[in-house]
Amino acid sequence: MTAVGENTVTDAGGHLLPLEGYRVLELGNFIAAPFATRLFADFGAEVIKVERPGSGDELRRWRLLRGETSLLFHTHARNKKSVTLDLRTEQGRELALELARRSDVVIENFRPGTLERWGLSYEALQEVNRDVILVRISGYGQTGPYRDRPGFGGVAEAVGGLRNLTGHPDMPPTRVGVSLGDSVAGMFGMIGALMALLHREHSRPQGDVGDAHPGESSGQVIDVALYEAVFALMESLVPEYEGYGVIRQRTGNMLPGVAPSNTYPCLGDKWAVIGANADAIFKRLMYAIDRPDLAEDPALQSNQGRAQRQEFLDQVIAEWTGCRSIDEVMAVMVKAAIPAGPIYDAEDIAKDPHFRARSMLEKCEVEVEPGRPERISFPGVVPKLSRTPGRLRSLGPELGQHNDEIYGGLLGMEPGGMEQARRGGVI
């Protein structure tokens, strides 16, 4: 664990953030590893993001509509420090090992074998830091017959079973609209690293703040496969296949076997999601939409009976919502305590008072275009901790913004050595 010093990070109440004092080295690109380190950074860890000299993380240019750095990069690289380093060079390898020596966690999302080719295997990392924790995120994991295949989040969503269930039955499978596979894998990577850190702390003798045991390592490798992160979300998909002989298929917005739970049309091309599949809630919904006959129908008192008439119930609800505005529908649902919500787009979210009340929209000043700062809303920090909440302290840094601080300060490189490395394209 790194020392708590002058750059201590505290919350608004003056408390240390929960991960203050830990240092995380990000050797990643795109989304999966950066998402994991974003979570670390939100809660106070010092995250050093290593980027390629000259070009940086390709995410800097994804969905870039104005300016030089995308808002997507600013979102995922927030609270981090950026250094440039060519890991393919010998000096780059040496500097990376020096950074690892001073880090608690290293997170990467290259194809298996890449770190080994660069001389940065886990064994090499342990030679300089025996207690280091290495999180490895890849398409198919570090072992198995598919380990060498390239894999992005969309491919993982396909292999993990999600894409086959996404969309309508009479149309091709579709994606969910965000990089879900990458983000979920990053989240599992962060969870794995936290468990490894907890194990490391437990491995130390009580009262000892130094090493665990002389000569014994308390570090470990966390192996996260993108497809497995997706598969972990698939509930009883395979058990139902082997136990019932059922292969689940796309059902659109309907939740198969659970009724009523669907997306229903409202006036003005708006939509409401209504979930009334619990017995008592179903009865309240039927009374709320003026169908007491269905509320008291003996055949509909349990989900088993309702599932057999799922299409009929959806039609009844849709006829009621279809001649009302979304505000009228929501007013009735809220009054009757029915779980329901409007389908929001970005504009709806940006205007919603609950998002703001929960600090889920944080206004930050960012130069969308160079020299022209603007106030832009960015996603807030999740989860909410009552005593030591995380916070958004800074947006994604400029490429190599912290080279002098990290190389000159943390590693103690002389200005001449840094300039030579810079001229040689190493940093």
CA 86 from centre of chain: 26
Closest residue by Cα to residue 259 from 278, 240, 285, 233: 278
Question: Which amino acid belongs to residue 253?
Answer: N
**What Å distances lie between residue 406 and 37, 48, 82, 421, CA to CA?**
17, 8, 9, 14
Residues marked as catalytic: 182
Kindly give the interhelix angle for 279-288 and 326-335, rounded to the nearest 10 degrees.
130
Ranges of H-type helices in 220-274: 226-231, 237-244
**What Å distances lie between residue 307 and 34, 55, 252, 255, 304, CA to CA?**
42, 54, 16, 10, 5
The pLDDT, as a whole number, for residue 402 is 98
Question: Class of the 261-344 domain?
Answer: alpha beta
Question: Given CA atoms 106, 110, 111, 114 in this order, what sign does their dihedral have?
Answer: negative
**Could you give the CA distance from residue 306 to residue 286 in angstroms, rounded to a whole number?**
12
The pLDDT, as a whole number, for residue 24 is 98
The pLDDT, as a whole number, for residue 209 is 47
Q: Tokens at residue 81, please?
A: 């420090």
Secondary structure E strands in 268-396? 270-275, 340-342, 361-369, 372-379
The DSSP 8-state label assigned to residue 191 in this structure reads H
Closest residue by Cα to residue 306 from 281, 336, 273, 330: 281
Question: Given CA atoms 5, 6, 11, 15 in this order, what sign does their dihedral have?
Answer: positive
Cis? peptide before 353, omega within 30° of 0: no
Question: Given CA atoms 203, 223, 88, 28 in this order, what sign does their dihedral have?
Answer: negative
Domain ranges (residues) in the chain: 23-234+378-423, 261-344
Q: What is the CATH number of domain 23-234+378-423?
A: 3.40.50.10540
Angle at CA of residue 28, ends 417 and 78, nearest 5°:
90
55-59 contacts at long range (C-beta below 8 A, 24 or more positions apart): 56/82, 56/84, 56/399, 56/400, 57/28, 57/29, 57/30, 58/29, 58/30, 59/29, 59/30, 59/31, 59/34
The pLDDT, as a whole number, for residue 254 is 87
pTM summary value: 0.91
Q: What is the mean pLDDT of each run of 10 residues along the chain (427 residues)?
A: 44 76 96 97 98 95 94 96 97 98 98 97 97 98 96 96 96 94 98 97 68 74 98 97 96 90 97 97 98 98 96 97 98 98 97 96 93 95 94 95 97 96 96
